[in-house]
Structure 1
Amino acid sequence: MAGHDHGHTPAAWTGVTIAFIGFCVAGAFTVAANPLGFWAGMVIIALGGVVGAAMRAAGLGMPKAQHPPQPRPATQAQSQAQAQTQS
């Protein structure tokens, strides 16, 4: 994972920071037993996702060309079958 540049963009950092602040707000109001404050924190968390997506759409995220499709890991049975057909 260290060889990848996954998430090191202004859009990712901003979205995650806003969502983290919302998590802290929701957690504080949960402890304070205030449902209205908890739901306000949940709205802030959702706002982080919206802001991150908007910034990515504005060109501040990672370009799609840098997202190669990752192959799905083969199960053990598939791996054994492939090994038998290759030998």
Structure 2
Amino acid sequence: MSNPIGDPGHGHSPAAWTAVIIMLVGVAIGTFFFFLDMPVVVWISAGIVLIGALVGWGMSKAGYGANGPKYAPKDH
């Protein structure tokens, strides 16, 4: 099915979903421990967010991005 409006996918790929889920977990942990005044865990959660971005980038380079050869888009 062709896409009449030229929608590039806006992150509907395994790489994007994986990155967003990892980063959401990192932000949730960081927010919770920020209110508990535990700065070490907040900084660890910032690292988790960075790891999520790197995982998404790596998966995109491995072909799981929106235009990658290992990604099969679904019809809407």
What is the alpha-carbon distance in structure 2 between the residues aligned to residue 25 and residue 45 of structure 1? Answer: 10
Match for residue 47 of structure 1? 51
How much identity, in percent, do the aligned residues show? 35
Which structure 1 residue ranges, 4+ long, deviate > 3 Å from structure 2?
none
Q: Which one of 57, 61, 65 corresponds to residue 57 of structure 1?
A: 61
Q: TM-score, normalised by structure 1?
A: 0.67
For 1:1-87, list aligned pairs within 5 A. 4=7, 5-63=9-67
Q: Which structure 1 residue ranges, 5 or more long, are not aligned?
A: 65-87
Q: 2: CA distance between counterparts of 1:14 and 1:45?
A: 12
What RMSD over aligned residues (CA atoms) do the two structures have, in Å? 1.3
Using the TM superposition, give the Cα deviation of residue 44 of structure 1 relative to its aligned residue in structure 2, in angstroms. Answer: 0.4
Q: Give the aligned length.
A: 62
For 2:42, give the aligned amino acid: F
Structure 1 Cα separation of the partners of residues 41 and 33 of structure 2? 5
